[in-house]
Chains A and B, each alone.
Chain A
């Protein structure tokens, strides 16, 4: 005899529940949380360094650093004197809500106004996991190629802001800036796009303004 059991058992329900709790905790503390996502090497940590150096006197910022195995990024960030927590995913390709919660537990939430969560470098999986952030910020660097918006549309569709980084390298790369922007707008019409170079500093003031102003694209929930 075989027994058949009908059910609806969401496998990742736990993640979504914890993400919602994280969101509540952020809200209760008046913290805006940004989930920073990109491919490896696009400049997430360098953007963080520039942002902390540029804004830490104006805004109390905390950082949750996701990395597969090392604490190299956390050391770079903590050198700037802001609270930083390292989360090693142990091989995992993305941060999930539970990992972010562990990081939150170690940060002085009562003193912070902004938390930047640096996700694991990957253009696929991080877009699929809600960690409780207010907004997703994505970096695309010109060395990666202008075909990425159409190849990884989910991440572009989910992001509120796209930073096109390393624009100082445009003369050296076969990167069609207008095509990249047009394709990004095609998968996400309300996506705000800023062109920056974290190395030269070009365009970073517009990014700082965005962080300080806290505007957001808001789709109806």
Chain B
């Protein structure tokens, strides 16, 4: 729903990282996105392309890897992944768990050209 503001935040971060690494142009950005962030990859890619014209990331490919939602059960300590909206421990069925994964939104790799 807020992909445009996320795209802007990604571009900020890419510009900082590219400068630090001495990249003249960024070709590919690998991004990890947790399934609980609610981010729609197609929408994010569309927004990203729309705002990167004239920047170091113009034309860069946004490679998005979806990360599953994860929880740790507060009853039995079981660690599990869950699909989107099945909010329960896969072992005992309890919904008394702490979310331990699925909220990630991070750049893990940049590929680009030297000056």
Contact = CB atoms under 8 A, between A and B. Distances in A.
Contact of A7 (B10, B17, B95): B17
Contacts of B107: 7-9, 11
A92 B9 contact: no
Contacts of B98: 219-220
Nearest to B18: A5
Tell me the dominant secondary structure on chain B's binding face: mixed
Contact of B23 (A5, A92, A187): A5
Chain B interface residue count: which class? 35 or more
Given A3-B23, A92-B5, A124-B38, A190 B96 contact: yes
Interface residues of A, number: 33
B113 interface: yes
B113 A189 contact: no
Contacts of B31: 11
Nearest to B21: A5
Contacts of B111: 2-5
In order of increasing CB-CB distance, the 10 nearest A-B pairs are A9-B107, A187-B87, A5-B21, A5-B110, A10-B106, A11-B105, A153-B87, A189-B96, A11-B9, A4-B111
